[in-house]
Structure 1
Amino acid sequence: MLGPEVTATTPENADAAALELGVGRTGLLRTFATNQISGPLAALIVAVVVFTLSTSTFFNSDNLSLIAQQSVVIGTLALGQTLIILTSGIDLANGAIMVLGSVVIGKIAVHGNPALALLIGLVVCVAVGAVNGGLVSLLKLPPFIVTLGVMSVVAAAARLYTSSQTYPVTSSLLTYLNNGPTVGGVTITYGVMLWIGLTAVLGYALSQTSWGTRVYALGDNHKAAELAGIKVKRLLLSVYVIAAVVYLFAAWQALGRTPTADPSGYSTANLDSITAVVIGGTSLFGGRGGVVGTFIGALIVTVLQNGLTQAGIDSLYQQVATGVLVVIAVGVDQLVRRRQSR
């Protein structure tokens, strides 16, 4: 299906074969993924225009600052989710991992060094990510089942660790990401800057490195990736670990947004992150999409919720609108895949 040139299995020509795979089918998919950004971007622009014309408070500096700040935690969490979905997996535990990281950081920082607390939080997040990646890659268990089980375990662990208590966050280091300069009347927090920076770094890694080429190849066709000499187990493990590092950054941002470490917080973060990824044009079947689309998708969700609130629409209708967008995005993805398979 991918052509006879993708048949190398020896270590000496594995990298060359993987690059050929990227130039072939995966290269075409990545080109198409770039074009997919235009759809979410157009939707974002339309939403902004509609709410600007229909309300008097949407397009002012304070509200624009609020939209950016409201997007940042789920938007960052969705970046890690994107990496996993690109491999045709899914991570239902990402919100729980973020919450566990935040409560570990918050509890240690109460009577300890905030920098050390951040480091330990990173270790905890990476350890859970490695467990997810190990179960999926080494034991070849379905990502949905693995991360569903890990989500339950991690959520319970966060409550057990804190005895279901919240911890106030007073350290300037831990709340630092909620600060930032004001440009043109719009406050751009360091958390937003971090979100943009992570999007740029991960976007570069996916589009300009051999690691990114292999991620797309793996998501497109696991068997073909193995035939190309790609070390699938190692690659999958690296994706889950890198995603866990991104979740730690989301935890840090969350501590700045609401300066309390709450084991019951962000209970729907996993579903919200998947929503941002899907609306941003990344295929749930893997191999197509990217973090720039996810960035736009997160903004679309927040703009929609914020704009409907400004217009006085009940929050239940906001959920309906978001759900409709997700269904439409998945439907479009299915149509595209069917056309490509012809």
Structure 2
Amino acid sequence: MPSLSTLGPLLALLLACIFFATQSDRFFTGTTLSLVLKQISFVAVIAIGQTLIILTSGIDLSCGVIMALGSVVMTKFAVELGVPPILAILCGLAVTTAIGALNGLLITKLRLPPFIATLGMFGIVSATTQIYSGAQTVTNLPPALNFLGQTFNILNTPFTYGAVLMLILFGVAWFFLTHTAPGRHVYAVGNNPEAVRLSGIPTTRLLISVYAVAGLLYGIAAVILVGRVGAGDPNAGQTENLESITAVVLGGTSLFGGRGSVLGTFLGALIVGVFRVGLTLSGVNSVYQILITGVLIILAVATDQFSRRKA
């Protein structure tokens, strides 16, 4: 039985699917489902990390550019330095994890607000990516780096390995948050950090770990992105911070922390993907996709505010 926090997003997703099915007879097909999963795959993985952070009453505005730097590091190491693809990927993951941990250190040790710390990191990482790449896209990748962009067929419908990895990561995150003590501590820190600290839980280490794990997830998203586009693009990641926050908010996770679920985030990402594909199939101008997404965000946050006041 889904929790109350996921019933709203689930209902919104169902209504959106029914609506677009009436607008286009191509909507309820395996190809459309495959397209939705492919389009949301790397943003949804970023949104897992964003969910962990928002549950602690934080936010990360640097997630997209961290992903972009990770993708450039992986591809440049493999193409220009001749590093074996697996080792190049591990180097990229190490970089993104380290930057995530640095965000956590800025927030816990220097006591910077998460918004300010990650906004500053957004500028630093974005500039670093451009300098390191020479503002040039890295192409001619070895086949191993494109693996997650490859497809396999289920009932004559192509699905990417990146979409499968996304689903696995959501399953792992769900288990972590709902069936482990550290997962429950993440919720507790978002609800009342002082009470958590007084109970003996090392909140500083927990928060640093959350931001580091989020950084690791951004690196995995980079691998999925590289497989999808077949290149390391230093200009990627400029809007993924807002898109990931959108998925989290639409999924019912409170921006004030302590309440929400990673399952809701998956539903929120699906809502965004369904609207994009549905409006495209219906022949609606892409500018209306942005308009509708903005309206949905305001409604989701307003609903959260109302429920908090009522509680």
Please say whether Structure 1 and Structure 2 have the same fold, judged by a TM-score greater than 0.5: yes
* 1:34 Cα deviation from its structure 2 partner: 2.7
Q: Deviation digits for residues 309-330 of structure 1, max 9, x if unmatched?
A: 1111111111110000000000
Deviations along 1:190-225, whole A, 9 cap, x unmatched? 111111111111111111111011110000111111
CA distance in 2, matches of 1:304, 1:84: 26
| Matching of residue 153 in structure 1 with residue 153 in structure 2 | no
State, as a whole percentage, how many aligned pairs show the same letter: 47
Q: Secondary structure at the match of 1:188?
A: strand
Query: 5 Å matches for 1:28-43?
Result: 34-43=3-12
Residues 102-251 of structure 1: pairs in structure 2 closer than 5 A = 102-111=71-80, 112=82, 113-251=84-222
Query: Within the alignment, does 1:313 sit opposite 2:284 as a pair?
Result: yes
Q: Could you give the per-residue CA deviations for residues 256-309 of structure 1, whole angstroms, max 9, x where no partner exists? A: 110111111231010000000000110000000011110110010010011111
Quote the Cα distance in structure 2 between the aligned partners of 1:245 and 1:256: 17
Q: Is the 8 A contact 1:34 1:289 kept in 2?
A: no
In structure 2, stretches of 5+ residues that fail to align are none
Question: What are structure 1's unaligned runs of at least 5 residues?
Answer: 1-30
Contact 1:62 1:185 in 2 (8 A): no
C-alpha separation in 1, matches of 2:176 and 2:62: 24
SS at match of 2:143: coil
Whole-Å separation in 2 of the counterparts to 1:243 and 1:173: 24
**What is the match of residue 11 of structure 1?**
none
Deviations 1:154-205 (A, max 9, x none): 0000000011000115222211111232112322221111111111111111
Q: Which residue matches 1:277?
A: 248
Q: 1:267 aligns with which of 238, 258, 280?
A: 238
Tell me which stretches of 4 or more aligned residues in structure 1 moved more than 6 Å. Answer: none
Using the TM superposition, give the Cα deviation of residue 251 of structure 1 relative to its aligned residue in structure 2, in angstroms: 0.2
CA distance in 2, matches of 1:322, 1:307: 13
Alignment coverage as a number of residue pairs: 309
Cα root mean square deviation, aligned: 1.3
Q: Distance in 2 between matches of 1:107 and 1:131?
A: 23
**TM-score normalized with structure 2 length:** 0.97
What is the one-letter code of the residue matched to 1:283?
Answer: S
Partners of 1:180 and 1:210 lie apart in 2 by 37
Q: 2:37 aligns with which of 55, 64, 68?
A: 68
What per-residue deviation string (whole Å, max 9, x for no partner) do you get for residues 79-106 of structure 1?
A: 0000000000000000010000000111
